[in-house]
């Protein structure tokens, strides 16, 4: 008769431990449910590098929904030189189906009232993102009293901050200023409630991770030729 209470106490201890664990899990879930909005906003904000606006004499556009409107505004307020990049042409561009991206950019800037004489290509050859900082510094060395604004999508500013710090001259990088342009397709305060918002944040982290792990210029992908396509289809078994 004296051993029965000891058995009851031993059986109660595991139940008590699991009860505390369950209560802790419930408490954590409740806290996350209450603070999920703040947590998700901070997740998005990590991708953003907000720099104070600085008067500049030149600008470069690398992204952003409102980049052409912002470029016209900055041009009106003193950024009289618009720097352009030549990108690697895609297959449709080489076939003449689509216009080169730099030509479309040039047309859009001209339509916003920017004189053609104020447009300047940074290089004659296609430019990889990893080379942008070096090219900007080369331009700044010949323009000792000028500063550059780089217009980019708000959620790619940390990626560009990393790229510029890697490739730019440490003595000149302070004269390059990122301008974070907001998205027009969703509200940043509740981005997780819309597909464009979720897609933008996911892509922002993927690109940031790729930039972090891949230092230097990106290798050019191998493009399939007509012979490659014909060979691939010839090897497929007929169902």
pLDDT the model gives residue 1 = 46
Domains recognised in the chain with CATH numbers:
58-185 (3.40.50.620)
Q: In this predicted structure, what is the pLDDT of residue 144?
A: 86
The whole-chain average pLDDT of the chain stands at 82
pLDDT at 224: 61
Alpha-carbon Rg for the chain, nearest whole angstrom, is: 27
Phi/psi-derived region of residue 96, left when phi > 0, alpha when psi is between -120 and 50, beta in every other case: left
Report pLDDT digits (tens) over 128-138: 888 899 999 99
Model pLDDT, residue 98: 75
Query: What's the mean pLDDT in 94-113?
Result: 85
Question: Tell me, what's the pLDDT at 225?
Answer: 60
- Residue 233 backbone dihedrals phi, psi, to 5 degrees: -70, -30
167-192 pLDDT, tens per residue?
Answer: 888 889 999 999 999 988 888 888 98
82-96, 103-117, 147-161, range with the lowest pLDDT: 82-96
d(CA 48, CA 42): 10
Who wins on pLDDT, 146 or 221? 146
Q: What is the pTM of this model?
A: 0.77
Reading the block at residue 146, the tokens are 């000028």
Taking CA atoms, 25 is separated from 16, 36, 37, 47, 174, in Å, by 14, 16, 19, 30, 47
| Confidence check: pLDDT of 40 > 90 | no
């Amino acid at each position: 008769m004296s051993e029965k209470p000891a058995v009851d106490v031993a059986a109660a201890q595991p139940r008590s431990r699991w009860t505390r664990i369950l209560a802790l899990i419930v408490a954590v879930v409740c806290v996350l449910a209450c603070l999920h909005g703040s947590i998700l906003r901070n997740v998005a904000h990590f991708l953003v590098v907000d720099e104070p606006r600085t008067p500049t004499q030149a600008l470069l556009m690398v992204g952003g929904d409102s980049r052409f409107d912002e470029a016209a505004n900055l041009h009106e307020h003193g950024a009289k030189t618009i720097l352009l990049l030549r990108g690697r042409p895609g297959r449709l561009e080489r076939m003449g189906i689509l216009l080169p991206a730099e030509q479309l950019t040039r047309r859009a800037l001209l339509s916003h009232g920017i004189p053609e004489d104020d447009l300047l290509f940074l290089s004659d050859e296609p430019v990889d993102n990893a080379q942008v900082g070096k090219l900007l510094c080369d331009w700044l060395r010949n323009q000792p009293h000028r500063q550059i604004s780089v217009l980019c999508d708000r959620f790619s500013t940390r990626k560009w901050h990393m790229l510029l710090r890697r490739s730019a001259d440490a003595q000149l990088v302070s004269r390059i200023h990122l301008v974070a342009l907001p998205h027009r397709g969703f509200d940043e305060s509740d981005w997780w409630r819309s597909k464009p918002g979720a897609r933008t944040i996911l892509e922002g982290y993927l690109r940031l991770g790729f930039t972090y792990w891949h230092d230097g210029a990106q290798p050019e992908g191998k493009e399939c030729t007509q012979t490659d396509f014909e060979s691939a289809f010839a090897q497929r078994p007929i169902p």
